[in-house]
Each structure stands twice: as structure tokens, then as C-alpha cells.
Structure 1
Amino acid sequence: MTARIGIVGAGLIGRAWAIVFARAGMTVALYDVDVTALDKAREAIRQSLVDLKQAGLIEDVEAPLALIQTESDLRRAMADVEYIQECGPENIAAKRGIYAELEAVVDSDTVLASSTSGIAASRFTDQLSHPERCLVAHPVNPPYLIPLVEVVPTPSTSETAVNHTMRLMALAQQAPIMVRKEIQGFILNRLQGALLNEALRLFRDGYVSAEDLDKTVKHGLGLRWSFMGPFETIDLNAPSGVVDYGQRYGPLYRDVDRQRGDDDPWDSVTLAALDKERRERLPSQGLADQQAWRDRRLMALMAHQRTVTPS
């Protein structure tokens, strides 16, 4: 693949995107106004590539690394790119500024995609001369290990820009999904948020410890969800499929849903109590090592999944 990709922002997500595209043989221009951040990014990318090679997920470190160029001048960085992945702050005003700068230096048909976790692109692209080439391509961190990408067009986004992004993500070995209408948080974070909200309430109200709640997902829901979605799960959990499941368990889920209040489960008292339990199990100084452990486990899972033919 010979596509030239521009990435705005050399932080955690920008670096991860650079690996995604370079691993697929695409040339990457990684831009950041901070030269020090670019230097750190290159070393971090090299280490991630070494880890991927050790996990058997790539064959070579130097080949993808050679495809990643770093640049602190926006015009030079974005010259001749066909697609830009913006990884700036999760802030509407900042994104409006970034997109105005991008529009001034790229061709009118260059696709401008945002990595935002939950802001609809129409909120920061409506002032542009060419909003039809703008959309969201929201990854899951880190995208070189978790392939889902949520492609979220605005009402103004052209079909050409959407198709280009979906095709590019597939070529980059990602798993793109189409979010048909803009909605805050998109799909993944709304699903994750629903589970987190309920988890915090169950913990706050004394039904379960933080450790046991995590066990419930790790050793229960998560095992199935690592290879099946929730609709697939319920379709297979009743003799006659989803309608049968709904008739059997729908009343339970409706009752549980009615019991949920409108209170905020993210209050400071609940978070402090949760932090206390988590820090007893994992002191703050151990977070970085545990994050590295998480990534190695994801690599092992990805390597395993590559040996299994998908259904």
C-alpha cells in the first residue's frame, strides 16, 4: 500500500496510529509543534514495534519505522497526503483551530478524520469551506492491538469520504464500523459507559467489591465478549434465538433498568473509595508496568486470534 497518511499530534494515540498505518506499508507524516514530543514519539514507536515483533505480530521493526517521518512544520508534514488522522485535544475550540489550519494547507479532497472519543465532528467542522470531507475515525487504545474503528460521518460528509475511510481502515488491518448518525460518545463509549455506570453504582451501594466486580467481567462476560458480541450472545443463549431469549429474560432486564436512578455514579466520594481499593491492589508506582503487561496480554490474544478462522 503506497498511501501517504498525515497524523496530527505525537501523543499516545498519534503514535499508535502511526504504527497502524506504517505496519500496513503506508508512508506516515507524524506532525507535532513540539520537537521534543516528536523525538520521544520515535523512541516510543520503536519500542512498541520491538514488542510486536517479539509477540510474532510483525516480521520486522525497521521497515515500518522507516515509513514514519516526523515533522514540526504543518505545511511540510501534510504535503501530498490523501488522509489525515487528527489526534488533538478533546476540546471543541482547539479542534476548530486545528481544522482551520489543516484546511489552509491541504487539497480540498484530502479526508480529515478525528480520533475524538465522543465529540460529533459537525461541532468543529461546520465553519470550513469543505466540511464534506470531514468525519470521525475513533480508535480503541491502542489501535495497533485493538482493531475497532468507529467511522462517524457528519450530515455534510460525502459518501466518497466515508468510503475512502472505510476502505483505508480495512487496508490498514483495522475493523471499521459505520455509525449511521452522529451521537455523543458514539457506540463503543456508550456501551462501555452503560456498564461503567452500573458497575460504579453496584460498588458504591455495597453490593460488590471492586475486585469481585472486575472478576465478574474477566471471568464471565469478558470471555464470551472477546469473540462474540452481545446480540450474538443472546441469540445463542436461548433454544430458539433472540425472540425466545427476550421472552425468557426481557422482564428481568426491564425491571433492573427501572431500578436505575438518575443519580451521578461518578461522584467524588465513590471514585475516592474505588481508588482506595485499586491502590491497595496496585500502587500508583506500578501502573506503568501493569499497562505494559496489559499490552503484552493483548498481543498474545491477537496472536491467538490470528490462528483462528473467524466465523
Structure 2
Amino acid sequence: MPTEAAHRVAVVGVGLIGRAWAIAFARAGCQVRLWDLDVEANGKAKDFIAIVLEDLAQNDFLNGRRPADVLALVTACYTLEEALDGSGWVQECGPEKIAEKRALFARLDQLTDPDTILASSSSALLPSAISEGLKGKHRCLVVHPINPPYLIPAAEVVPASWTSPEIMKKAEAFLSGIGQVPIMMKKEVDGFIMNRLQAALLEEAFRLVANGYASAEDVDRGIADGLALRWSFIGPFETIDLNAPGGIKDYVERYQAMYSGLFEQMLERVEWDGPVLKDVLESRRRLLPESDLAERQVWRDRRLMRLRTHKSKVDQELSR
């Protein structure tokens, strides 16, 4: 459960990510206050949250709480000051524009108590760029979720060089307490961890299709019905540790030369919006019309729920 100091959370910006964070916080028992420059967005956010809560309840993802009780913890505020009042944690979810984030964080730094943690959901902007020059820059960091955070627990915790170690510890404890899995970075880097790993995979996926080695559909199958089955419960280092008789050192000795050769072939950059986009787009729209995207997102989320349930059950049965 959340610590007493962070029991009240402000979510600033209630688009897709802000609404998802609000669900994750409220499900854990936090009092969540929403604020957005767009006044109408607050009401729409609560309507969205109410719909999602019903689906989560049906799949036992509300920690035993009733949807109405969770929704009651979420309050739409009409001023930023009201949303921030008494909050121990602020989750900023505004547009991915550095000038806007810097201006917003300057206001957050002025309006919040000195001990309040200021976290940005940014997926690409560095925490140092967001908080540079602020009086309270030591309490600023990025907490980047893998969307949606109420189903995918991993969240990257990224410090600037001046972020206090104590703030990092508090952030780790708070996120763990609400059921997230904090991925604690030692220092900032463009793309953080998740997007750098995803970028490497996407670069190769586009390259394979662009050069005529495979279709987009078969590349997707290779991940969904191949590598992702292992990756759903172990990561790349543990994967190779288990894929050689003598463990990871043995794997490196056996296969490093092969991967070194592949690397040279992977240095070619394929523009994603070049000719390859036509092939990928045709493949995706043949399988899924654009009009069905929202329905398929619900399909995805329900399968994520089942997968999380399965993983939790198996972890308990096999003691991880």
C-alpha cells in the first residue's frame, strides 16, 4: 500500500497516460486528484475510468475493491492548486514538449510542499532537461510507465544527475507499495531502457520487411509465438543464461562471434516512413481495419489481464 506521505496523488494531464495512472493509484487506495488545462477532459477522464474499472473488476484486478469505491477516490479538480494541495506525489502527464514540461514543472515546484515528489511520465525527455534550474530539482525525476500501468506493472524510474538518492528510494518504495515494479535506472540516457530495447527490435523488424526477408505478419508471429513466450516471464540475460549448458558465460563463448557478424548487417538504417511503410501498413490493415483499432485495444487489455492472472497463479504455485 502507498506510504502515508504519498497517499494523496495529483495527476496533472488526463489524457491516455494520465487516466491510466489514475486507475493504478486509486486501485491501490490513493486519493487521486485530476487536473488538466482542458476543463472538459476531467469529466471525460472519470467516465473512461468508470468503464475500465468495471472490466478490471470482472477480471479481479481491483485488489478486492468495488469499482464504485475506487472511482470515489478520484476527484476532478478545476484548478491546479486544488489538485496539488496536500499531495505527496505528483504524476505529470502533459504533452511531450520540453518547453511545456519545463513551464509546468516550474509551477509544480512553486506550488507543492518541499517534500512532494515530482514525477514526469515522459517517454523520451530527460529529467535533467525538464527540471534544470528549479529550486527543488533534487525531487524531480521521470517515472515512465509501460502503458497501461494498471495492467503492466513495470515503470522506469529515471534520475537526473541532481536527483536525490533519498527521493529515488522513496519513489521505489511508493511504486512498489501500489503494486508497480520500479525499474531503477542509475543515470539518464535517451530512450531510457524500454524504448531503447524496443527501438532495437523495431529497427530490425522494419529492416527484415524492407529487404524482403519476411512479411510484417510473420515478423509479428515470430515474436508473439516465439521469443515473447519466454520474455513474458524472463528477460534477455536470464534467457541466454538458461540457453547454454554452462550458463551465460558459456553462451557468450559459443555465440558472440555469430552475433558480432549479425551486428555488421544491422548497421543499415531503414526509414520507417519510406517504401517499407506501404508493406507494413497493408499487412496490418488487412488483418485489422483502422475502424477496429479501439476494439482490438480492449482485446489486448483483456488478454493482458489473463496473462497477469496466469503469471501470478504460476508464481504462487511454483514459488517463482
TM over 0.5: yes
Contact map agreement 1:34 1:72 (CA 8 A) in 2: no
Contact map agreement 1:234 1:241 (CA 8 A) in 2: yes
Equivalence for 2:250:
244
Equivalence for 2:212:
206
Counterpart of 1:36, as a letter, is E
The number of aligned residues is 311
CA RMSD of aligned residues (A): 1.1
Equivalence for 2:118:
112
Equivalence for 1:294:
300
Which sections of structure 2, spanning at least 5 residues, go unmatched? none
Is 1:197 the counterpart of 2:197 in the alignment?
no
1:181 pairs with one of 181, 187, 202: 187
Which sections of structure 1, spanning at least 5 residues, go unmatched? none
Structure 2 Cα separation of the partners of residues 195 and 171 of structure 1: 32
**Identity among equivalent pairs (%):** 48
Structure 2 Cα separation of the partners of residues 92 and 75 of structure 1: 22
Counterpart of 2:29, as a letter, is G
3-state SS of 1:57 partner: coil
Contact map agreement 2:216 2:279 (CA 8 A) in 1: no
Structure 1 Cα separation of the partners of residues 278 and 166 of structure 2: 47
Post-superposition CA distance 1:247-300 (Å, at most 9, x none) = 111111110001122424323322232112211111110111111100110011
Post-superposition CA distance 1:120-161 (Å, at most 9, x none) = 110021121110000010100000000001001101101121
Contact map agreement 2:206 2:270 (CA 8 A) in 1: no
Equivalence for 2:55:
51
2:176 pairs with one of 167, 170, 174: 170
Equivalence for 1:303:
309
3-state SS of 1:298 partner: helix
Post-superposition CA distance 1:25-52 (Å, at most 9, x none) = 1111111121211111001101111011
Equivalence for 1:10:
14
1:33 pairs with one of 32, 37, 55: 37
Equivalence for 1:64:
70
3-state SS of 2:90 partner: strand
TM-aligned CA deviation for residue 66 of structure 1: 0.8
Is 1:144 the counterpart of 2:150 in the alignment?
yes
TM-aligned CA deviation for residue 237 of structure 1: 0.4
Counterpart of 2:266, as a letter, is R
Structure 1 Cα separation of the partners of residues 212 and 274 of structure 2: 16
TM-score by length of 1: 0.97
Contact map agreement 1:6 1:29 (CA 8 A) in 2: yes
1:77 pairs with one of 79, 83, 100: 83
Counterpart of 2:49, as a letter, is I
1:95 pairs with one of 87, 98, 101: 101
Contact map agreement 1:112 1:135 (CA 8 A) in 2: yes
Counterpart of 2:74, as a letter, is I
1:156 pairs with one of 152, 157, 162: 162
Counterpart of 2:44, as a letter, is K
Contact map agreement 1:197 1:265 (CA 8 A) in 2: no
3-state SS of 1:228 partner: coil
3-state SS of 2:111 partner: coil
